[in-house]
Structure 1
Amino acid sequence: MMESIASPLPTVTLTWLSSREGGRKSGRPTAPVHVPTCVFPLGGEKAVQPGWPAVADEIFSILLEEIGTAGSPSTRRYNVDFVAPDLVARFVQPGADVVVLEGGKVVALGRFDEVVQR
């Protein structure tokens, strides 16, 4: 199990969906570094791609290390890295949205805060 992210790229603020909203039944993850998948909504995919985001053309592995709270109990800030950072570089910008998935199910919605270039 990974304990921390050595060189985070961005930070992200995520709101974890409740089980009533279709999110995780166990609540937000508690592992030191959580590794789900994610997609980057660019606009209009949901209308033209049935089953989006689970069937998105580009799904990426994201590494999340919690660094603090951000308002409500379901909203947290995270250091972020990616298994393939070069493939996501064009999507990762301050203010860009991200959708976190587990097994094709949307579990969290977020927005990048700060981006560090390597």
Structure 2
Amino acid sequence: MAQAKQNLIEPSAATEIKPYTMNFGPQHPAAHGVLRLVLEMDGEVVERADPHVGLLHRGTEKLIEYKTYTQATPYFDRLDYVCPMNQEHAFALAVEKLLGIAVPERGQYIRVLFA
């Protein structure tokens, strides 16, 4: 037991922690393919984060260019496999805002329950 304790290296106060760069995503389970972050770390503290977005782009804008509202809605399910209803919700909100449509309060509650 004493021999094992002697083999341990004690951290000293003079140990220098060098900053390093770490890639987070897009293959990380928390990023699930839609986000990549280049993180500059100082120990366990994130000093700077450089987000790389656009990994989700699939040309959906072009695909739905000549579709009706009901034909376009299913395309948004395929944008993000983790939360497909949120993508539909965002599309519906955008169309309603563009057309000046007011959704009844009951409809808003139902929508929040699904998303």
* Same fold? TM cut 0.5: no
Where relative contact order (Cα < 8 A, 6+ residues apart) is larger, the structure is 1
Structure showing greater radius of gyration is 2
* TM-score (ref. length: structure 2): 0.22
* TM-score (ref. length: structure 1): 0.22
Tell me which protein shows more strand as a share of its residues.
1
Tell me which protein shows more helix as a share of its residues.
2
